[in-house]
Structures are given as C-alpha cells and as structure tokens.
Structure 1
C-alpha cells in the first residue's frame, strides 16, 4: 500500500517480497514432493501425532481435520490439533503433524515464547488491520497523531512475527527429535521431514522480514514528512 504513495519504499520492501515469493514456492514444491512419499511403516499423520503426544505425557488433545491445504495448526483454546491430511502416511503429512504436536507440547509445558505470542495476538490482530489505514490517513490529512498511532500499532504486528520465529523453530526441533527417538521414520524419511519443516520455517522468516521492512518504510516516510 505505501509504495502507491511513495514508490521509493518499494526498493526497501523488494528483498522481503522476493524472499516471500521464494518461500511460498519452496514450501509448496517441497510439500508436493513429499506428500507422495509414504513412510515405510505406513503410519498415518494422525497416529504419529498421537504417539508423539503420548510419549511426551500430553493428554486431552483432540486430533481433528481441516479442509484447508497446508492449514494445519494447533488451537490452544480448544486443545485441538487440526490436520489437513490426518490419514496420510506420507513424509510431508507426518512431518507437519509432528510439528503441530510440538506446539501442543509447548502449550502443555507452558513454553514462554508461545505464551507471549498468545498474549499479544489480540493486539497484533488489531494493529495489523488498522495500522496502515491510520498511517495513510495521517499522511493525507497531515496528522502526526494518526501517523504515530499507525506506527505504534504496526510495531505490535511486527513483534508478533518476531516472537513467532522461536515458537515455530522450537516446534520443528521437537518434531524432529520425537520422530528420531521413536524410530517411526527411517534416516532417509527424517531427511525429507527436515526439508518440509525447513521450507515451512522459511515462510515465517519471510513474514517477519516483510513486516520489519514495512515498519522501516513507515518510519522513513514519517521522518521524511517531518523534514
């Protein structure tokens, strides 16, 4: 949005845009590759998640299905692990399920970064929706108050993306460790899981980079306006 008013900000955002495009390509191509590679043991993604949770001593987590491709997630409020392919024994589905089980374990163990992320979700959502409109209104009507409010609100959204990084990386580490120790996957299959989770992690890095550079653009525009 900002580059429509200040085209030069596009150069600030360009690295993050390129990274975001590459990240989306990487996650989709990697997932497409390994969704067709079944585990030798033919254990489904849902079963793998149950094994990981049981071995971690976590109970009361429901395994549910989501119809959104790559929409797998853990809902801490419902204590529900929602998988797009719970019945698939593929390397991709199992890797994603193990990752989401990692989030459930984080929740059960009161993992601090996850608790912090959950705390700032309402502020981050509010900020991401209103920050840019308020910022642009401030520019159009030369209101320093609106410009500053927009920057503050967007900062909360940036904080959310940054806090998300350790949460996601930690969940992937838990997933890989659990799969490795349980013997559910072979060494070659574990390599495929790592590729899937690394590709997924790249999307979070791209989101954080984009948010941070957007905030930088807003600060540069604000300083230019004051000058």
Structure 2
C-alpha cells in the first residue's frame, strides 16, 4: 500500500478559507433570493432608487447603467458610473432597492473624499500586481537556493493584497450604513422593509469578511512555508 511521504498540514488553512468563502457566498445568494421576492411598498426600481438617492445627496454627475451578470453591481469611480445588474436595475424588490442604495453609498463616499475609499483606490494597482507576482517570486527565490530578497519581495507583494482586502471592510460597512440610514430617513423603505434591507446588506458584508479572512489565512500559510524553508536552509 502506498502512503504519501509528506502531507502539507498548512493546506488546512486554504480549506478553511475556501469553506468561509463558500458559506458567505451561499448566505448572500439565499438572502438576496428571498428578499428579491418581496416587492417594496414604494414601488421604486433599483435604478429609480439610485437616481433618487443621488439627487438627494446633490450628486448630478454620476451615471446609472445596467451591467450583465448576477450581483455584479458596483460603483466605478473612474467614470463616475453606478452599474446595476439585471436583477437590480429594473426590479422593485427590497433586495434590489437595498443593493442600489449600497452602491449609492460608494458614490457619496467618493463625493465626500472618504479616506478609506481613497486608500483602497490607491491600493488597487498594487494589489492586482501583487496577486499575480507574489507566488512566482517566492517560488523562484526558493529554486534559486533560498534567495531571501526574492522571497521577501514576494511576501510583501502578498501583504499588499491582504491590505487591500482589509481596507475594503470599512469601505463596504460604511456604504451599507449610509444606505440603511438614507432608505429609512427618505421613506424609500417602510417598517419591516428596513429590517429586510439590513439582512440583505449584512449578508453581502459577510462575503468581504470571508474574503479578508481567506487572504489572511493564505498569508499565514505563506509565512509558515517560507519560514520552514529558511529554517531547513539554515540547518544546511
């Protein structure tokens, strides 16, 4: 019978991260699905909700466009465009209204020069580059006999990715907080609808928490693996 000579125990960190992400994704899809069946009393569509909130905030230079896909809603600060998915743009459900209001929260952050949003924007190119180059640098460093310089650069590149995910948390939480306050104060949602909206946006927030946790676990695994390699290299 064949037994593997070595099983990497750090894989458990990857598995935990994957499970967290799957659980969060399942939660947001089920919650959005449930409240996408509940029509808001105001009768506003996601697009109409976004237009009303932006106008109330004194924002007239942000466009509203439809984007294909499921839960692909986002605010693009470079073009000042609020992009709403097919399931949000023309829907009058509580879920659609909530998501549209959340994206408006980002537009308001942009208008108010919200510092975490500016930091996240500055980290985007660094994080994208780091995500693609970190592991190759580390592997090359190891293959070159343990080049500490390349390994350290790779680790710091991955740290930039983790930093992006961490700074995303206050940005998303703040956008949801703004959305909930605006929807309640302006009468876009009424009574129990505000509680439903909180559930929708709370479930969405879990995906960002899970994403950040997954990145931290990957960084921890990276530090363990490179630390173990360096330890073995020092012994030689």
TM-score range, shorter chain: over 0.9
| Superposed structure 1 runs of 4+ greater than 3 Å apart | none
Q: Secondary structure at the match of 2:89?
A: coil
2:123 corresponds to 1:100 = no
Equivalents in 2 of 1:214, 1:140: separation in Å? Answer: 21
> How far apart are 1:47 and its partner, in Å?
0.8
Larger Rg: 2
Q: How many residues align?
A: 223
> How far apart are 1:122 and its partner, in Å?
0.6
2:63 corresponds to 1:62 = yes
Candidates 193, 199, 205, aligned match of 2:209:
205
In structure 1, the gaps of 5 or more residues are none
In the TM superposition, 1:26-175 aligns within 5 A as: 26-84=27-85, 85-142=88-145, 143-175=147-179
In the TM superposition, 1:176-215 aligns within 5 A as: 176-215=180-219
> How far apart are 1:13 and its partner, in Å?
3.1
Equivalents in 2 of 1:28, 1:97: separation in Å? Answer: 16
> How far apart are 1:119 and its partner, in Å?
0.8
> How far apart are 1:225 and its partner, in Å?
1.1
For residues 88-145 of structure 1, what are the alpha-carbon distances to aligned partners after superposition, in whole Å with 9 as ceiling and x for unaligned? 1111111100000000000000000000110111101100111122222323333322
For normalisation by structure 2, the TM-score amounts to: 0.91
> How far apart are 1:6 and its partner, in Å?
6.6
Tell me the equivalent position of 2:13: 12
Q: Secondary structure at the match of 1:58?
A: coil
In structure 2, the gaps of 5 or more residues are 1-5, 232-236
CA RMSD of aligned residues (A): 1.4
